[in-house]
Structure 1
Amino acid sequence: MEDDVMARVTAAVQRGQAGERATARRELESMWAEVEQGGGDDFHRCVIAHFLADLQDDLREELRWDERALAAVDGVSDERAQEFDGSLRVRGFMPSLYLSLADDHRRLGDATRAREFLEKARATADALGDDAYGGLVSGILDKVSRALTEGSTEPLT
């Protein structure tokens, strides 16, 4: 299925990764406004919020966007995700969503909440595939865990 919103999300994310963070953030914020006005669904909300979180300069704003992504995923079915990509399963989203929240809370100095979300990420990590994405998320899980154990509130490198 051709999904114009997801094509635009992908393009904005690529701009952000290329260093055009402010432009990417504005584009994703505009898409968020569109889906909130009825031009999308919870799948779009989850994806947009998840990527928008990574483009925030303020940690509390990043947390808010990560919370929005987690809230939206409740309304996403495997069937809806598979309309975009046949290999997607909602359970496979969860480790990354939980890890984002764990890292937000860690950097905000809330080790208790960070540990709660880290445990949720671990509990769903079996949904990750044995592929590059699964390896990436598993590596981040290890980094967040290590930083939390060390008491670090610094951004991951």
Structure 2
Amino acid sequence: MKKAVLSILAGMTIFAGGTSAFASQAKLKESVNAVVGTPYKYGGTTTKGFDCSGFVRYIFNKFDVSLPRTSKSQAAVGEKVAKSDLREGDLVFFNTSGKGISHAGVYVGGGKFAHSSSSKGVTISKLSDSYYKKRYVTARRVVGKKTYAKMVKA
């Protein structure tokens, strides 16, 4: 029993210590972590399977933020944000098809973003990964201060 308690406490300490991509975020972290590993499904919008824009909509619906269905239309809302000014909860967009914006994710801080990858399902990747770095197009901020505070504060 004592070993089990110590193991649990050690795990909690490691998680709280910031090894997560979301050390400073509670609500956004919880929402994303709850679905990491969910399989990719074209047109998917539920925990049975997500495509990229379905995943983004699912996360933002948790904060009462309504977004359009496709990544291309999501990239047209909110205010444009420079890559150097990204903050947790900003949307990031990529051209993965060679035909304009075709992939979306949620910036989670530390140069990382959460998204539904067609090969890995819901996962967290680095913006600096060569694949995404070459295909990055733009970022948008779609939440105001009040919603942002709900997303990133415990």
Same fold (TM over 0.5): no
Which structure shows the higher strand fraction? 2
Bigger relative contact order (CA 8 A; separation at least 6) = 2
Which structure shows the higher helix fraction? 1
Bigger radius of gyration among the two: 2
TM-score normalised to structure 2 length: 0.29
